[in-house]
Amino acid sequence: MAEGVTDIQAILDAAARQAAEPARPGGWYSLASDRVFFHIEDVPYRAARVDDLLTVYEAEDDKRIVGLQIKGI
Quick check: is 34 in a domain? yes
Residues 6+ apart with CB under 8 A from 51: none
| Average pLDDT estimate for 60-67 | 96
- Residue 19: inside a domain, yes or no? no
Expressed as residue numbers, the domain containing 39 is: 24-73
pLDDT of residue 57: 97
Is position 4 within any domain?
Answer: no
pLDDT digits (tens, 9 = 90+) for 22-52: 668 899 999 999 999 999 998 999 999 999 9
Q: Which residue has the higher pLDDT, 63 or 7?
A: 63
Instruction: Report whether 57 contacts 46 (CB < 8 A).
Output: yes
Q: Which residues contact 48 (CB under 8 A, 6 or more apart)?
A: 55, 56, 57, 58
Q: Is residue 15 part of a domain?
A: no
Contacts of 23 (CB under 8 A, 6+ apart): 39, 42
**pLDDT at 4 > cutoff 60:** no
**Could you read off the pLDDT of 7-23 as tens digits, one per residue?**
888 888 887 777 666 66
Total number of domains constituting the chain: 1
In a domain, 5, yes or no: no
